[in-house]
Each structure stands twice: as structure tokens, then as C-alpha cells.
A and B are shown apart, each in its own frame.
Chain A
Amino acid sequence: GENVEQHPSTLSVQEGDSAVIKCTYSDSASNYFPWYKQELGKRPQLIIDIRSNVGEKKDQRIAVTLNKTAKHFSLHITETQPEDSAVYFCAAGESWEYGNKLVFGAGTILRVKS
């Protein structure tokens, strides 16, 4: 089955700097890669996702890149702000007509220091 590895486990950056979180996946059938932000005690919130027919996607300060050949994808946050501090999870899934099971990475604790 699918296995998702995520690095680093913790990341501290200064406010205004960029943050990069990387994930690798094992199953070449995976075709959907979302990123979730989870604040303490709250639900995972989707922040951006990418499908396998796209190499890069950007939404304001957040971007995701996907390299299907190498089976890795990355989250880039620019101009970080203290409110970006949270746990970020990457996930991989294979969409089919009956649904889309997501396999999550272990998470990255991002701390943005002001």
C-alpha cells in the first residue's frame, strides 16, 4: 500500500522567511496530493492540493510542486507569519469512482518566530 514520508518533523523560521516541507510517496497510482494545516485541538484544514496532471500550483503565499517521476511533492510558504504556526500534513490518494482514501505523512510542526 501507499506510504508517505514527510520531512522535516519540526521547522522553525523567522517571520518573513520562507518555509519548505517535503513529502515522498511510494505508490505511483496516487494522483491526488493535498496539504492540511492543523492547529492544536482543531480539525485538519485543507490549504492547497494538487492533482497529478499538474506540476505546480500557487495560491497567494502558498505553493505546491509535484515531481511524479521522483514521487515527491513539496509545500512552499513564503513571507511566513506567526499565524502560519501549526502542524502541516501532506497526504497522497488515488481517486477512483468509489472514493479516495488519503494516506497522511507524519506531520511537520512549523513555528514562525516573530
Chain B
Amino acid sequence: EPEVTQTPSHQVTQMGQEVILRCVPISNHLYFYWYRQILGQKVEFLVSFYNNEISEKSEIFDDQFSVERPDGSNFTLKIRSTKLEDSAMYFCASSSPPGGGTQETQYFGPGTRLLVL
């Protein structure tokens, strides 16, 4: 069964550094998402992406964050200047094309644990 994959699984960085988190969504999916989960807390929506542009973003997703689909398979989240409070688990998710009756079902990747020191 196809799965969403993410790299790296863990990333440690210094405050102020840039990080890029990578995701490979399920191959025929068209909708892509990033969520984050601070340790012990709920999963929070960051951004959704469709047709090569951001379709929705949360207040968390400020100018320090950006997303990109550089090729036909990868979906990346960039944090330009990391802060201590960016430490969290970052999950990528994808969902299928519309019309199949399952557009809403989001499949999550295994996550990247980001630690900002």
C-alpha cells in the first residue's frame, strides 16, 4: 500500500538557521498539507497546497515559512530562520484527486522531528 514518506526523520538545528523538510506524497494525490505537533499537544494545521499554489494557511504559517513542489514528486516545507518555538514534529499529508469520493481522506507521513537549539 502506498504511503507518504518524509525525510529526514530527525533534524537538529541552531536558532536562526534555515531548514527544509521534505515529503513525498502518494503518487496520484493532488492535495498536500503540512501539520505540526508540539510534544504532547494536538496536531495543528499549517498549510494546504493544490495546483501549485497555497490554498489555505494558518496564522502559524507566517513569512518564515514557505512551501514548494519543486518537481513531480517532492513537497517541501522551508523555515527560513528557525526559532526555539518551531521545535515540533512536522507531518506532511496528502489526499486524492476530487471525484473519487475520498478527496477528504488525508494520509499522514511518519513525521520529521525538528529540534531548534
Q: Which positions in A face B, CB cutoff 8 Å?
A: 32, 34, 36, 42-46, 49, 51, 89, 91, 93, 95, 97-107
Known A-B contacts A44-B91, A89-B43, A107-B42; A101 and B107 likewise in contact (beta carbons under 8 Å):
no
Q: For A34, what are the chain B residues with a Cβ–Cβ distance below 8 Å?
A: 104-106
A contacts with B: majority SS? strand
Please determine whether B110 and A42 come into contact, CB atoms closer than 8 angstroms. yes
Known A-B contacts A98-B55, A99-B33; A49 and B42 likewise in contact (beta carbons under 8 Å):
no
Which of B13-21, B44-52, B74-82 makes up part of the contact surface?
B44-52
Contact residue among B51, B91, B106 (Cβ-Cβ distance under 8 Å from A46): B106
B contacts with A: majority SS? strand
Q: Count B-side interface residues using an 8 Å CB cutoff.
A: 27
Please determine whether B105 and A46 come into contact, CB atoms closer than 8 angstroms. yes
The interface bits of chain B over 10-47 (1 if a CB of A lies within 8 angstroms of the residue's CB, else 0) are 00000000000000000000010101000001111100
Q: Which positions in B face A, CB cutoff 8 Å?
A: 31, 33, 35, 41-45, 48-51, 55-56, 58, 91, 95, 98, 103-111
Known: A34-B104, A97-B98, A102-B43. 20 other contacts (CB 8 A): A32-B104, A34-B105, A43-B91, A43-B108, A43-B109, A43-B110, A44-B91, A46-B106, A91-B43, A98-B31, A98-B56, A99-B95, A100-B48, A100-B104, A101-B48, A101-B58, A102-B33, A104-B43, A105-B42, A106-B42
Please determine whether B42 and A100 come into contact, CB atoms closer than 8 angstroms. no
Q: Which residue of B lies closest to A94 (CB)?
A: B104
Contact residue among A44, A49, A104 (Cβ-Cβ distance under 8 Å from B105): A49
CA A82 to CA B71, docked complex, whole Å: 43
A–B pairs, 15, beta carbons within 8 Å = A32-B104, A36-B108, A44-B43, A46-B107, A49-B104, A95-B103, A95-B104, A98-B55, A99-B49, A100-B95, A101-B33, A101-B56, A101-B58, A102-B45, A104-B43
Known A-B contacts A44-B108, A51-B104; A99 and B48 likewise in contact (beta carbons under 8 Å):
yes
CA A46 to CA B93, docked complex, whole Å: 12
